[in-house]
Amino acid sequence: MNLTPTQVLVALGILAGWFLLWRIRSWTRRRTLEASRASSRLLSLFGRVVFTAALIVGVQWIVIVAAPGNHGLLLAVLGVPALFAAHGLTKALTVVTVDVRGSRR
C-alpha cells in the first residue's frame, strides 16, 4: 500500500486529535470529581458543625434549667464553649505574614 505524505499527515493529525480529546475528557472528569468531593466535604463539615452546636446548646439549656442557682457551673457551661469559639475565630481571622530571609530567587 502506497501512502502519500499528505495521507500520513492526515492520519497523524486524526490520531493527535483523538489523543487530545481523550486528555481533555479525562481532565474534565477529574475536575468534576474534585468539585463533587469538595462539595461533599463542605456538606459533611456543615453537618458536623450543626450537630456539635446543637449538642453544646442542649447541654447549656439543661444546666440553665436544672441548676439556675449554681453560678460556677453556669459560668463553666457558658464560658468553656465561648473560649473554644473565640480561639477558633481568632485563629481563622488572624493574618500571619511569613518572613523569608536569605532565599534565592
Q: Is the entire prediction scored with pTM above 0.75?
A: no
* Distance in angstroms (rounded) separating the CA atoms of residues 8 and 15: 11
Q: In the Cβ-directed half-sphere of 42, how many Cα atoms lie within 13 Å?
A: 6
Give yes or no for residue 105 having a pLDDT over 60: no
Taking only the tens place, the pLDDT of each residue in 44-60 is 778 888 888 888 888 88
* Distance in angstroms (rounded) separating the CA atoms of residues 62 and 74: 10
